Every structure is written in structure tokens, then in C-alpha cells.
Amino acid sequence: MTQTLHERATLSKADFQSDQETRWCPGCGDYAVLAAVQGVMPELGIPPERIVFVTGIGCAGRFSYYMNTYGMHAIHGRAPALATGLAAARADLSVWIVTGDGDALSIGANHLVHALRRNVPVKILLFNNRIYGLTKGQVSPTSERGKVTKSTPAGSIENPVEPVSLALGAGATFVARTVDRDKHHLAAVLRAAAEHPGTAFVEVLQNCPVFNDGAFAHVTDRAQALEHAIPLEHGRPIRFGPEDARGVVRSPDGALAVADVAGVGEEALVVHDARRADPSLAFALAHLGDLTRGPVPLGVFRSVAAPAWGAGLVATHREAREHAGEDALDALLHAGDSWTVS
């Protein structure tokens, strides 16, 4: 008989490591994310057989093979659709999606948006390396304007998709951003996402050492991160830089701006509120600086309580079917107008 959660021995990282050889390029940020996820999983107290990882196409798609849980490698961009079905049918499962910027924001953007707006109880980890890595270095939906790649030899003429803004615009109830090389911050964000009852969307700035090396060096290199990384902590004034000398303030037009604390005073600093129902502050933070040069806010932008989609859906459908009788579906299919196609 399967042991219940309380009957099981204490879980460890090894319980979530599969026997498959990890096969990403040396130095790929995916290794760090995999280690962080495997390290956080035991803390959730959920046994591996009650966890599912659904992955899309791309380098991140291999993730499901390396987790000793249930998993599925979906077709390009369709991981949210499959995960939505799982979440609706099996409320007892912890469902995770691992995807990349190309998989989620190109062919999969439609599925992603609807999963977010519905607040499906799944956790979405989007690895953003701003390049197509698996297919050898073409421009991706998040690549910066002017980016020279194999598919854009004269530079990209498109503005990039901003994942955090997209998630907020879709009504996501939990939106966060972290980086692959900061294991403590990454783990903290993963824990917060796991605890959220609805859709949790996490953008992971992830290095591709082969096709886009150093794209996020300004927030991963220790010296540069001190100047460009803006930590977001709920309930605390937004400060960063050496000795927290810089901070985020409201400019006269209402937009957010960076200022020297000594010049504006501590009382002028914006206090981060991730739990505001109004997402305007989170939106403003998402547009503060940019991923190419900085500054870059990192942490939880938004975390609000809202009813999760699909609760009791299977039971409701079962009751309706039982009430209508066994022939209800057949009657429905043959009801109303019909057409003969010749």
C-alpha cells in the first residue's frame, strides 16, 4: 500500500534525482536551476509520486527526464494545456511546468496567457536566456532589439516580449523573477511559488554559455549585481547599490525612477507591496530599467490571493453526468441542428 505523507520517511534531494545523465552544455544555467528545484522539493513534503513536471520543446524540455517524479515532454508550446488538464483531473497532484522563452512566448504564448488568466493551480518556471539554444542560436521572442543572430544577421528589428509584464497583463496572481546563479535567491523564490495556491509564474534569467554568454552578467557578476540588481522584499523600502545608497522613488509624472537616497531622503522611497490587488506597482517595477543594461528588479512582483481554477471540476462533471443519465452525452451530440456534408 502506498504510504501517506505522514507515514513516509523524511524526503531528501536524492529522492528527486533521476538516474538519467544530465546532458546540457557545460556551464549552462539549467544545471543550477535543476539543483535548486531538486533541493527545494523535499521541503514541500510532497512525495515524488504526487508531483508532475510537464516540459515543452527546447533545452529546458529535458528537465522532466532529470526529475524522479512523474513527467511528460509536451509538444512545442503546449505544456500549459496539458498541465491544465492534469490540474483539473487530479487535484491531489503538484503540477509544474518548465519552459523556455522560445517555447512559452512564441508558439506557446496563447496557452501561457490562458493558464495565467484562469489561475490554474500550476507552477510555471520560464527559463529566459534570450536566444534559441536547442536550434543553435536564432533570435527568440525575448532577444533585445538589434540582436545579431544566425536568423537576424543585420540585427533584430523587433521589440522583445517582457515576460513579467506579459504575466501581469494576463492577470497572474503570482509573478516573480530570479537568476540562475544566485542559489539562495532562486531557492527562496521557488519556495514562495510552491506555496502559492494558484498559478505561480517565475522568470529565471538563465545563461546560455554557447549562444548568448553573459547576457545577464550585469545581475549575476557580483560586482555588477551590486549596482544593477534591485531586490524586491514585501513591506520594505526598495533600496539597492553599495551600502543601499540608491533607491526607487516616484517621479513627478507618477512613474518609478532610481535616485540617490541621500538626495531624496528615506521617506521618499517606494515601499514594495506584492500583495496589492491593483497590479500597477508591479507593472511599474517591471518597466523599471531593462534586462540588457539594468537596473533589474528581482524577487516577487505580485502575490495575491484569488480562487484557483478547476476546484471540484471533475466531481461537478461526474455529478452532472450521473444526474442526466448514461445516455446524456449521446443525446447532446445528436441534439439541435445538423448538416449533411457531401
Q: What is the pLDDT of residues 63-90, one digit of tens each?
A: 999 999 999 999 999 999 999 999 999 9
Q: Which residue is listed with cell 538516474?
A: 19
Tens digits of residue pLDDT in 210-227: 999 999 999 999 889 999
Which residues lie below 8 Å from residue 66, measured CB to CB, with a gap of 6+? Answer: 17, 18, 20, 22, 34
∠ at Cα 177 (211, 198), nearest 5°? 125
Q: Which of 3-12, 142-151, 322-331 holds the top average pLDDT? A: 142-151
- Round to whole Å and give the CA distance between 125 and 37: 10
pTM of the model: 0.92
Task: Give the count of alpha carbons within 13 A of 293, CB side only.
Answer: 3
Check whether 317 has a pLDDT greater than 90.
no
Q: Give the rounded percent of residues in the chain with a pLDDT score beyond 70.
A: 96
Length of the chain (residues): 342
Tens digits of residue pLDDT in 184-209: 999 999 999 999 999 999 999 999 99
Predicted pLDDT at 1: 31
Domains of the chain: 13-235+272-314 (3.40.50.970), 237-271 (no CATH)
Q: C-alpha cell of 84?
A: 491544465
